[in-house]
Amino acid sequence: PEAAIQLVPTPDRQMVTDMLRAVGYINVIVPRGGKGLVGLVQREARVPVFAHLEGICHVYADRDADLDKARAVVLNSKTRRTGTCGAAECLLSDWPFYTKHGAVLIEDLLKAGVEVRADGELAKVPGTVKAHPDDFGREFLDKIIAVKLVDGVDEAMAHIRRYGSSHTECILTENDETAAKFFQRLDSAILLRNASTQFADGGEFGMGGEIGIATGKMHARGPVGAEQLCSFKYLVTGDGTIRS
């Protein structure tokens, strides 16, 4: 349609308030910005909102992870583009993985110039910074990552449920059963196995230009492109057909 794309004619913030309350004129609003902006829109809106919230993305290195795959995925997940919502903000390592391979994942991150905020035993690794409790559940959008040891996939999932934003999580494992549990029992919009969290992007999903990644559970969820913004229309043709 000719009017399919329209521009708001003024940068006046009052216009934003007016749009949030334009019931009957606007079908949905997608706020793109910081946590404060998204929270404001959610509180004030009278029209539906697709919440593009923080990307507090986790990578979990399971005891059955392949070391070479883990090193590649962890480094790419954090460092490819640190300012995107798909960047990893927390690395969880299974104790047996750490016992077997040591601090190689942390050392890779440190060599790449990442500030590693380490919890517990991991704080003994040279070059790390002792983590503050607030570092977990935080979107750094910078060359900073929080790291923690966990006892198995169940503890990893419990941590993610507590601190995550339902955006994107990755499990590094060669164990099909463990991967299936991770996929089935977490409700984040995007779950990956042995693949970088930086794939959290509508373009990578074949959706074209991305409007956002919706972390809510109504209508579109995950990467939102033009198609995901559409609702349904049912076209029914009969021939004098009646319902008994």
Ordered by where they begin, the domains of the chain are 1-49 (no CATH), 57-199 (3.40.309.10)
How far apart are alpha carbons 168 and 55 in whole angstroms?
7
Burial (CB < 10 A; 0-12, 13-18, 19+), residue 237, is exposed
pLDDT attached to residue 232: 78
pLDDT attached to residue 131: 98
Ramachandran region, residue 178 (left: φ > 0; alpha: ψ -120 to 50; beta: rest): alpha
As a residue count, the chain comes to 244
Distance of CA 64 to the CA centre of its chain: 24
Closest CA to 222 of 182, 188, 196: 188
CB 55 within 8 A of CB 83: no
pLDDT attached to residue 183: 97
How far apart are alpha carbons 219 and 229 in whole angstroms?
9
SS3 of residue 146 by DSSP:
strand
pLDDT (tens, 9 = 90+) of the chain, 244 residues, equals 788 788 888 888 788 889 999 999 998 888 877 777 778 888 889 998 877 778 999 999 999 999 999 999 999 999 999 999 999 999 999 999 999 999 999 999 999 999 999 999 999 999 999 999 999 999 999 999 999 999 999 999 999 999 999 999 999 999 999 999 999 999 999 999 999 999 998 888 887 777 778 877 767 788 888 888 777 778 888 898 878 9
